[in-house]
């Protein structure tokens, strides 16, 4: 029997267009593998759409109509990057409706999306992170002068709002820019090292394995512009020795497990003279065939269409947060 997959793309965040690209590529890959695919899009206005048709005129009615589509799905593939998608929002919806979903559940999505929380988890399992601190957007006028820092929204993706500050004026500009994307801002010391990404895949049988590492070659900060204008180069597998490769894979697997990830996640590091330093975690990374994660698995001999199909094969109903409570019987 052909399985019916509902792919959800778009979203209300700054990553709307990136999410559309991922959703389109995933849907095409699933169709080529023989799945019956339906596509839903969340507009920037919060309205759900099926094709070009808006499913209602208000967000709540639109969601109700979308649920009627999801009800007929064997698996939901949420391809929405950033807030109100990757952060566990769609995983919570699938959990409430008891619908199998490809990818990480609410807890992993929420922790992975929050860069400050992810740093705390990494430190707890022995993974180094850049020295940093968290400030409220409302208090950026009180931030003291700092140089050679990276400013990031605490919960945003695709490097939106990320900037390098080497002087006071640039710091002020960077803080104001980051505040457009989140009300919490992370200020981190600059880490000198090679930018290396590792992807981890959890198979349907529960086995997890790390992809070959990918190195990012870029002049300056790997920001939103360089991510999408073609100026950055990628090397996969990265030209690193066996010890560094093992250290990166081990750290990636520890982070994947500590967050409770499922499906696929991309864990980004700086490789320094003292070993890996965590940069950030992506529980719903870019998933076009040209994106970093599919490139890494292709280098391991896993083609794009098979990667996407395996994510569907491994789909499960997201677990609720907290322990289950058994009913009391007399």
**Spans of all domains in the chain:** 4-103, 111-128+192-313, 131-189
Q: What pLDDT was estimated at residue 230?
A: 58
Q: What is the mean pLDDT of the chain?
A: 90
How do residues 63-96 score in pLDDT, each as one tens digit?
999 999 999 999 999 999 988 899 999 999 999 9
What pLDDT band is residue 153 in, cutting at 50, 70 and 90?
very high
Residue 206 reports pLDDT greater than 90: yes
Q: Which of 245, 265, 240 is nearest to 255 (CA)?
A: 265
Residue 234 reports pLDDT greater than 80: yes
How do residues 169-188 score in pLDDT, each as one tens digit?
788 888 889 988 889 999 99
pTM over 0.85? The answer is yes
**Average pLDDT estimate for 148-177:** 85
Report, as residue numbers or ranges, the catalytic residues.
15, 158, 228, 266, 268, 280, 282, 286
Contacts for 292-297: CB closer than 8 Å, 24+ residues apart? 292/197, 292/199, 292/214, 292/234, 292/266, 293/199, 293/211, 293/264, 293/266, 295/214, 295/234, 295/236, 296/197, 296/198, 296/199, 296/211, 296/212, 296/213, 296/214, 296/236, 297/199, 297/201, 297/211
Q: What CATH number is given for 111-128+192-313 in this structure?
A: 3.30.470.20
**Domain 4-103 in CATH 2.40.50.140:** no
Q: What CATH number is given for 131-189 in this structure?
A: 3.30.1490.20
Residue 321 reports pLDDT greater than 80: no
Under 8 Å between Cβ of 267 and 197: yes
Q: What pLDDT was estimated at residue 52?
A: 84
């Amino acid at each position: 029997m052909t399985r019916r997959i509902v792919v959800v793309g778009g979203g209300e965040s700054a990553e709307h267009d990136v999410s559309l690209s991922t959703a389109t590529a995933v849907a095409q890959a699933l169709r080529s593998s023989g799945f019956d695919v339906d596509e839903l899009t969340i507009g920037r206005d919060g309205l759900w759409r099926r094709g070009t048709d808006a499913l209602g005129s208000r967000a709540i009615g639109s969601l109700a109509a979308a649920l009627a589509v999801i009800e007929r799905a064997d698996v939901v593939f949420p391809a929405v990057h950033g807030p109100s998608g990757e952060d566990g929002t769609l995983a919570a919806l699938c959990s409430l409706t008891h619908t199998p979903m490809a990818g990480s559940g609410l807890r992993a999505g929420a922790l992975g999306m929050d860069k400050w929380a992810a740093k705390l988890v990494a430190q707890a399992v022995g993974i180094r992170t850049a020295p940093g601190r968290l400030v409220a957007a409302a208090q950026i006028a009180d931030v003291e002068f700092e140089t050679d820092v990276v400013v990031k929204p605490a919960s945003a993706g695709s490097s939106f709002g990320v900037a390098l500050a080497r002087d006071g004026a640039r710091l002020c500009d960077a803080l104001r820019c980051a505040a457009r994307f989140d009300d919490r801002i992370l200020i981190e010391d600059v880490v000198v090292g090679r930018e290396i990404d590792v992807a981890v895949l959890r198979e349907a049988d529960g086995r997890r394995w790390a992809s070959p590492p990918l190195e990012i070659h870029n002049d300056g900060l790997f920001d939103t512009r360089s991510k999408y204008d073609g100026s950055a180069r990628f090397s996969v597998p990265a030209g690193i020795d066996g010890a560094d490769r093992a250290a990166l894979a081990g750290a990636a697997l520890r982070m994947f497990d500590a967050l409770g990830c499922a499906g696929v996640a991309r864990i980004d590091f700086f490789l320094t003279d003292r070993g890996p330093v965590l940069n950030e975690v992506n529980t719903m990374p870019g998933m076009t065939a040209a994106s970093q994660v599919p490139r890494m698995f292709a280098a391991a001999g896993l083609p794009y269409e098979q990667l996407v199909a395996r994510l569907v094969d491994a789909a499960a109903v997201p677990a609720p947060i907290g322990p289950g409570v058994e009913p009391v019987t007399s």
